[in-house]
């Protein structure tokens, strides 16, 4: 392998090394969904906070219901939320609803279905063993327990756990704001009439959606012309956490991204032994903002984002696991792969463990329309020159 060619793994590590979890901020629970908790959330109270009833029924003393039927005097009525603290003495019961604190003296809950549902007195026909239908203080968590660990993605269940501790605010990593800049004189906004040579910009939309899907906040620019001064000015004025560009990084005469960043000491341009996605750049701008410069071919942009940018965004959000799930599959068809380069082949499922290429035309980096069929990227190692029908491949699951 040529000295300035990097392996997919090496470039991925370099891309990820640019990212660190963003600072934590206080976030209202309403806004916490999808953020990542920045510290262990420890309870200082038991959960449940007190013994409470798991059933609508009667709180009784077990000794009073050993012989059945038993008639007990009802001394209290305890809906959920009741602050009453009655005493259940021998021969008495308290009517109680699910969630109400169990009164002192009672050790058993008799469901209403096992009684005559009386309010002055109650006849108990059947009684469960002592302790039944009682939800004990601390059986969910005791003081000092980590209820939600740092690094947890705050989904519905984790947010419920936070709320149940009585915390209206959590400290979570803020989402990265990621500028997406597509470059190329040939590009116009979708909807603009095309003259010969022009095409609609699709990468800024692709990358903005990919940033959002990765949990970042995209700030989309594009298309930016092949003008070094314009691009430099745009990049210098950005107030974001990271930047992704598309286009202008190969060896063409008008490769604007490469030209604009050529003198940046902390930005490097390399060839990566992968197809699609060979020409790549990455590094930091003078203020420290990480930048990944992806090739302009749409499938190359897509695959490069998957490999190099998505994991970095996940890390900035505070996630520890930044990998896509993979699945082993058998391919129903064969294809050739470029010698000495790993291949990222867009595939779709044709059975639970079987894939074919998303398009029969393969991994061609311009096949943007057919890219929409891709459900995964088969990652074919650089040493493999040919994939045969029936071969096992590792598939990165990229569709939601």
Ligand X SMILES: Nc1nc2c(c(=O)[nH]1)N[C@H]1C(S)=C(S)[C@@H](COP(=O)(O)OP(=O)(O)OC[C@H]3O[C@@H](n4cnc5c(N)ncnc54)[C@H](O)[C@@H]3O)O[C@H]1N2
Q: Which is nearer to ligand X, 279 or 346 (CB)?
A: 279
Q: Which is nearer to ligand X, 300 or 331 (CB)?
A: 300
Q: Which does 111 bind (CB under 5 to 8 A by kind): ligand MOO, ligand X, none?
A: none
3-state secondary structure of 284: strand
In whole angstroms, the minimum distance from the beta carbon of 304 to ligand MOO comes to 7
**Phi, psi angle pair for 95, to nearest 5°:** -70, 135
**Phi, psi angle pair for 291, to nearest 5°:** -135, 135
In whole angstroms, the minimum distance from the beta carbon of 30 to ligand X comes to 36
Q: Which is nearer to ligand MOO, 246 or 297 (CB)?
A: 297
Could you check whether the bond before residue 305 is cis, i.e. omega within 30 degrees of 0?
no
Q: Which is nearer to ligand MOO, 122 or 380 (CB)?
A: 380
Q: How far apart are CA 186 and CA 222, in angstroms?
A: 12
Q: Which does 152 bind (CB under 5 to 8 A by kind): ligand MOO, ligand X, none?
A: none
Q: Which is nearer to ligand MOO, 227 or 268 (CB)?
A: 268
Q: Which is nearer to ligand X, 13 or 189 (CB)?
A: 189
In whole angstroms, the minimum distance from the beta carbon of 275 to ligand MOO comes to 5
In whole angstroms, the minimum distance from the beta carbon of 277 to ligand X comes to 7
Q: Which does 187 bind (CB under 5 to 8 A by kind): ligand MOO, ligand X, none?
A: ligand X
CB of 96 closer than 8 Å to CB of 51: no
In whole angstroms, the minimum distance from the beta carbon of 277 to ligand MOO comes to 5
Interface residue list for ligand X (CB under 6 A) = 182, 184, 186-187, 199, 201-204, 246-252, 255, 276, 278-279, 295-298, 300, 365
Q: Which is nearer to ligand X, 57 or 296 (CB)?
A: 296
Q: Which does 52 bind (CB under 5 to 8 A by kind): ligand X, ligand MOO, none?
A: none
Which residues, in sequence order, are CB contacts of 369 under 8 Å at separation 6+? none
Interface residue list for ligand MOO (CB under 6 A) = 275-278, 295, 297, 300, 365
Residue closest to 218 by CA, chosen among 180, 246, 181, 245: 180
Q: Could you count the other beta carbons within 10 Å of the beta carbon of residue 265? A: 8
Half-sphere exposure of 253 (CA within 13 A, CB side): 0
In whole angstroms, the minimum distance from the beta carbon of 269 to ligand X comes to 10
CB of 30 closer than 8 Å to CB of 159: no
Half-sphere exposure of 251 (CA within 13 A, CB side): 3
CB of 283 closer than 8 Å to CB of 289: no
Strands of 177-183's sheet in order across: 5-6, 267-272, 279-284, 290-294, 242-246, 177-183, 217-224
Q: Which does 53 bind (CB under 5 to 8 A by kind): ligand X, ligand MOO, none?
A: none
């Amino acid at each position: 392998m040529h000295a300035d060619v990097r392996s997919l793994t090496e470039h991925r590590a370099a891309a990820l090394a640019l990212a660190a979890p963003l600072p934590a901020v206080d976030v209202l629970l309403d806004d916490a969904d999808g953020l990542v908790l920045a510290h262990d959330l420890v309870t200082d109270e038991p959960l449940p906070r007190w013994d409470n009833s798991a059933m609508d029924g009667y709180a009784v003393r077990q000794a009073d219901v050993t012989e059945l039927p038993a008639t007990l005097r009802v001394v209290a009525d305890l809906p959920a939320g009741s602050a009453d603290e009655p005493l259940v003495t021998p021969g008495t019961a308290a009517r109680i609803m699910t969630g109400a604190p169990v009164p002192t003296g009672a050790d058993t809950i008799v469901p209403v279905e096992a009684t005559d549902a009386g309010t002055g007195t109650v006849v108990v026909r059947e009684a469960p063993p002592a302790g039944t239908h009682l939800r004990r203080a601390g059986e969910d968590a005791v003081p000092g327990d980590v209820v939600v660990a740092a690094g947890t993605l705050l989904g519905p269940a984790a947010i419920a756990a936070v709320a149940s501790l009585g915390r209206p605010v959590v400290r979570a990593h803020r989402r990265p704001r990621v500028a997406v800049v597509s470059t190329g004189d040939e590009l116009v906004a979708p909807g603009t009439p095309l003259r010969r040579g022009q095409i609609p910009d699709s990468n800024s939309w692709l990358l903005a959606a990919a940033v959002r899907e990765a949990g970042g906040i995209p700030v989309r620019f594009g298309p930016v012309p092949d003008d070094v001064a314009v691009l430099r000015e745009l990049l210098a004025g950005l107030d974001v956490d990271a930047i992704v560009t598309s286009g202008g990084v190969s060896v063409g005469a008008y490769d604007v991204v490469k030209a604009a960043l050529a003198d940046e000491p902390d930005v490097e341009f390399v060839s990566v032994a992968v197809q699609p996605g060979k020409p790549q750049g990455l590094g930091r701008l003078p203020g420290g903002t990480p930048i990944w410069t992806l090739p302009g071919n749409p499938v190359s942009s897509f695959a490069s984002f998957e490999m190099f940018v998505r994991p970095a965004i996940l890390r900035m959000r505070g996630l520890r696991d930044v990998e896509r799930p993979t699945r082993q599959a058998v391919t129903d068809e064969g294809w050739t792969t470029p010698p000495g380069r790993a291949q990222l082949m867009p595939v779709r499922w044709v059975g639970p463990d079987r894939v074919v290429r998303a398009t029969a035309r393969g991994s061609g980096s311009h096949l943007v329309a057919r890219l929409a069929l891709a459900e995964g990227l088969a990652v074919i190692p650089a040493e493999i020159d040919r994939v045969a029908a029936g071969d096992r491949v590792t598939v990165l699951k990229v569709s939601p």
